[in-house]
Structure 1
Amino acid sequence: MGKALSSSVKGAIMGGAMTGGWLLADLLLPEPWGDVVLFAAMAVVNIGIGWKLGKLYDEQEGKVANAEALDAKSAPN
């Protein structure tokens, strides 16, 4: 339980930091082209995050499936 809470807190801090970073970038970039550059950068970052989360989810599902398969093999018939 402590590890899940720790991961949740880390995720919340990272999300807040990224939001602050995007806001700072929006304030520093010039108005017409700043939004184009900012939204393109946000899209690339979000695609990368989604890709990584998908890979982590698939790895976790694979570990669960492997553990269930091992349990089924080792169970007495």
Structure 2
Amino acid sequence: MASLNSRVKGAVMGASMTGGWLLADLLLPEPWGDVVLYAAMAVVNVGIGWRLGKFYDKQSDKETAADFDAKKAANYELPS
């Protein structure tokens, strides 16, 4: 699994999570099983969204810092 790229890893993780939710839905009794399952799905999805947001903010900060450094370096170049 270490040699797979991130898109394939994401697809495998998504498929396994979907299978896990389906299994939980089939094992939990009705109707309270759905309430527990949907609450658990909401918590997990909020957690995933939170982590993705932090990841994208980190990537954005890196790009902004790189752009700033490039502009700063261009300002300090001596004309020949």
Match of 1:65 in 2: 64
Deviations 1:40-67 (A, max 9, x none): 0000000000010001000000000000
Match of 1:46 in 2: 45
TM value normalised by structure 2 = 0.87
How big is the shift at 1:73? 1.1
Q: Which has the higher helix share?
A: 1
Three-state SS of the structure 1 residue aligned to 2:17 is: helix
Deviations 1:15-60 (A, max 9, x none): 0000000000000000110000000000000000001000100000
Match of 1:27 in 2: 26
Amino-acid identity (%):
68
Three-state SS of the structure 2 residue aligned to 1:39 is: helix
d(CA) in 2 for partners of 1:34 and 1:61? 40
d(CA) in 1 for partners of 2:38 and 2:31? 12
Runs of 4+ in 1 over 2 A off after TM superposition: none
Q: Could you tell me which runs of 5 or more consecutive residues in structure 1 were left unpaired when the two chains were aligned.
A: none
Aligned residues: 74
d(CA) in 1 for partners of 2:58 and 2:12? 24
